[in-house]
Amino acid sequence: MTNRLAGETSPYLLQHADNPVEWHPWGEEALTLARAQDKPILLSIGYSACHWCHVMAHESFEDAEVAAVMNRLFINIKVDREERPDLDQIYQTAHQMLAGRPGGWPLTLFLTPDGTPFHGGTYFPKEPRHGLPGFTAVCERVAEVWRTRRNDVEARNRDLLDALASQAPKPGGAAVFDAAPVAATRDMLLGGFDRDFGGFGGAPKFPHPTDLAFLLRQKVGAGDTAAGAAALFTLERMAEGGIYDQIGGGFCRYSTDERWEIPHFEKMLYDNGPLLGLHADAWVLTADPLYRRVAEETVGWLLREMTSPEGAFHSSLDADSEGAEGRFYVWDRAEVERLLSPEESALAARRWGLDGPPNFENRHWHLRVVVPMGGAAPAPTADEAVLLESARAKLFAAREKRIRPGRDDKLLTSWNALTIEGLTHAARIFDRADWLLSARRALGFIQATLWRDGRLLATAKDGRAHLNAYLDDYAYLLSALLELLQADYRADDLAFATQLADALLERFEDREAGGFFFTSHDHETLIQRPKSGFDSATPSGNGVAAVVLQRLGHLLGEVRYLEAARRTLECFWPQMRRQAGGFSTLLVALEEALTPPTIIILRGPAAEVSDWQRRLAGRADALVLALPNGTAGLHSALAKPENPHVNAWVCRGVTCLKPTAEFDELLGHLQPT
């Protein structure tokens, strides 16, 4: 017997389709039913790679007695937070207001029939333990409050709705920008930098790609050696830690300890796209082969395990396999010794920590590069590198025979866009046409399946695309297109970029207060309409929108885009001045509002243009468009005259230099002023 989730596309919802709980997907049918029966709603939000979501499902949602209580007392709604980030944002914020502490997943909230939460938590065990009440007791108590204290619930709801409404940024008005928030954020990040292990703060420790990108930008743009060193050391320690899969490539979600040693083993697409781009940038700055190896192995993982038959990228790999977190990834020492030659085994033990005590649940080993306190691991010699690669290949082949973690194979527009951008950026830097081709295949899928009648859809699976796209979908995809234009200029990509930019302004912009709402103007009405400038695990949609609209505005001379970017900065300017940290992506837009980005247009014979393009690929301080003679369909702003030899046009804002035909002269123009 199945419930109403059986017709959904989300793998997470389908995991619950056979529960005895009478689950509904979020939608008007379930909300109408709650109003008609005057029943509270039990809202459960999670995602398919979530370990504690699985635990609560096995303990409670698959239990007939618990399900009977839920079915009797509530209208039960299950939501995939990855398909519905709008609902997740709203209800995570509401939970924090109700509980006075951050939420997480699974998120368990009890709502009035109009969708306003009045009680909640995260994971509840079936029976009381570890200081947590049993789930059925919680359900009974909440239902009793609803029956006997309705007035109190409704009064509290009014206060909550007022608090949610007060979160919206107030109109900032005209502002005189300065770089003070940039300096404050830089100082805040370096103040929290872990000088022993990299990263910021203690356990659990997250990658924070937006903050690392911000610090690398300070290194490139301002020569800030301390900022660059902090970012590079963090990337190095992550790459050598257990958060990185030393055998198969790719990064896990976060480290449970401060040393990056033992991860939460789920692998998320949205982490790996940005981290791929960052490791490419780190290689440009250092030429350290570690960063190139990690980039190559991460792309290998993406193409091997995360690419759909259509060419787009799947969402995530589960933390669990065979009912246990990490089982797919960890090792017994005896198994390693059995698989490897004595020479390989001895070297692998020293390199990956197998000669020390077990580091996972006191009985298994999770591999990481053993690094002396405060310093990087010594690079292996050439002979050791050969032995290590042989050992890695043997362990990989053996691991492939294990029962694999589950894969969430839905195709999300926003996460694919992040991955297209990271993959394209790495392809530019390492001159990998095959990687660029993979990025283009993913873009082709989005255009063919998720772009319809001038609007994006958010998700697709098994040929079915649906759900209104969100701000992040449009902004991230526009950013990916700007990266593709630098790797391989195509007029169709620029046309698509302008369509997305126009849609951002038309469907998401708050023309009164500035900035962009997370949901479009024709989205369903919810209890809050989020508009945030903060970065989270992914970049701020407002931040990315401001950056890309500003860059596209300068590139094409389009004032509408520049004005929208400025209105966004003005909207969040009071918050950025008050609070250091959390705005790393918006700070890129701020810096480029203060000093417009450098734009380089290359024109001339294809071979010479391609050569200059390759030599400029690592320049993080400029946008470079290579337009060989004969390039068709050029926008009027890009239509520089053809030349028998390559020429470069350099512009910053409205200031353009005379074209140059000498590469060294071009480099001189790019020196900081």
In this prediction, residue 375 carries a pLDDT of 59
In this prediction, residue 378 carries a pLDDT of 79
pTM: 0.97
Of 94-103, 166-175, 259-268, 511-520, the least confident: 166-175
Rounded to an integer, what distance in angstroms lies between the CA atom of residue 126 and that of residue 57?
10
In this prediction, residue 235 carries a pLDDT of 98
In this prediction, residue 77 carries a pLDDT of 98
Q: What is the mean pLDDT of residues 108-123?
A: 97
Please give the structure tokens belonging to residue 288: 């350290």
Residue 45 makes CB contacts below 8 A (sequence gap 6+) with: 79, 80, 81, 84, 87, 88, 91, 105, 106, 107, 109
Per-residue pLDDT of 264-292, as tens digits, reads 999 999 999 999 999 999 999 999 999 99
Residue 11 has pLDDT above 90, yes or no: yes
Q: What is the largest CA-CA distance in the chain?
A: 85
In this prediction, residue 2 carries a pLDDT of 86
Average pLDDT over all residues of the chain: 95
Domain ranges of the chain: 11-166, 180-326+408-594, 333-401, 598-669
Per-residue pLDDT of 497-525, as tens digits, reads 999 999 999 999 999 999 999 999 999 99
Per-residue pLDDT of 197-216, as tens digits, reads 999 999 999 999 999 999 99
Q: What is the mean pLDDT of residues 142-164?
A: 95
Residue 131 C-beta-side C-alpha neighbours within 13 Å: 0
Rounded to an integer, what distance in angstroms lies between the CA atom of residue 5 and that of residue 279?
40
Please give the structure tokens belonging to residue 633: 């369909």
Percent of the chain with pLDDT over 70: 99
Predicted confidence band of residue 670 (pLDDT cuts 50, 70, 90): confident
Per-residue pLDDT of 354-395, as tens digits, reads 999 999 999 999 999 997 655 567 778 888 899 999 999 999
Percent of the chain with pLDDT over 90: 93
**CATH architecture assigned to 180-326+408-594:** Alpha/alpha barrel (1.50)
In this prediction, residue 130 carries a pLDDT of 84
Q: What is the mean pLDDT of residues 337-358?
A: 96
Residue 427 has pLDDT above 90, yes or no: yes
Which of residues 49 and 379 earns the better pLDDT score? 49
Buried b / exposed e over 350-378, threshold 16 CB at 10 Å, is ebbbbeeebbbeeebbbbbbbbeeeeeee
11-166 and 180-326+408-594 agree in CATH topology: no
Per-residue pLDDT of 529-542, as tens digits, reads 999 999 999 999 99
CATH number of 11-166, picked from 3.40.50.720, 3.40.980.10, 1.25.40.10, 3.40.30.10 = 3.40.30.10
Per-residue pLDDT of 290-304, as tens digits, reads 999 999 999 999 999
Per-residue pLDDT of 634-668, as tens digits, reads 999 999 999 999 999 999 988 999 999 999 999 99
Helices then strands, each counted (H, E), the chain = 24, 20
Q: What is the mean pLDDT of residues 622-626?
A: 96
Please give the structure tokens belonging to residue 648: 């470069």
Which of residues 589 and 381 earns the better pLDDT score? 589
